[in-house]
Amino acid sequence: MALADALDNVRNWADALSGRERRLLSIMALVFVAIVVVLPMYVAISSISDIETENAEIAQVLQDIHRSEARLRQEKAERRDVERLYDRRAPSLGGFLEERAQQYGVTGLGITDQPKLDIGAYSRRSVRVSLPVVELRPLIEMLADIENSSYPVSIERIQMTGGRMRTGYTVKLAVNAYDREGPAATAEQE
């Protein structure tokens, strides 16, 4: 009964309203319905759109990862090859270079040992080499053999003088050998 009385009071109040007030009340009811119905739909659609955009970005990242998988495998294999290079300790640089020089007919090596340098888990042994007169072809073959050896050896610097009118070149080299310090190096030495 209380509900029926409340509805009667609302009806009487609505009948007492003028035409202009009824129009404003209708517009207000439409705005309220729009807010109650349209706003949640807009929020839901916007959320779905954001999720779709995020999914598209994730799919793009996954495609990029898949495309770079072969390159990453290759880089990993190259890193393993480099690490394996350090498993084998380089021989004495002086003897190593003299052996290579004899192999290619290069004579007159002047070798000067440099101080050993510790670099993190590695140490670097260095020598400076001077060649008074050497022909270009045997020099290049010897340098390629040194650089491509199975030891962690690198040529740091090459300085050449001479040329055209002389019978050969005067060459100065800086050659480095790198040794891994730690468990892998000590296991190799035992």
pLDDT values of the chain reduced to their tens digit, one per residue, 190 residues: 788 888 888 888 888 888 888 898 889 989 998 888 888 888 899 999 999 999 999 999 999 988 999 998 999 999 888 788 788 788 888 889 999 999 988 888 899 888 988 888 888 999 999 988 888 888 899 999 998 888 889 899 999 988 666 678 889 999 999 888 765 444 344 3
What is the rounded distance in angstroms from the CA atom of residue 176 to the CA atom of residue 95? 13
**CA 118 distance to own-chain centroid:** 26
Tell me: do 121 and 180 sit in the same domain: yes
Asked whether residue 46 falls in the same domain as residue 132, the answer is no
Same domain flag for 26 and 48? yes
The residue type at 28: M
Q: What is the pLDDT of residues 47-67, one digit of tens each?
A: 999 999 999 999 999 999 889
The residue segments making up the domain with residue 1 are 1-85
Same-domain check for residues 77 and 119: no
Four-CA torsion 178, 181, 185, 190, nearest 10 degrees: 120
Residue 38 to residue 46: CA distance in whole angstroms: 12
Task: Round the CA-based radius of gyration of the chain to a whole number and report it.
Answer: 42
pLDDT at 164: 63
Confidence (pTM) = 0.55
pLDDT of 155-188, one tens digit each? 999 999 886 666 788 899 999 998 887 654 443 4
Residues 80 and 114 in one domain: no
Domain containing residue 168: CATH number: 3.30.70.60
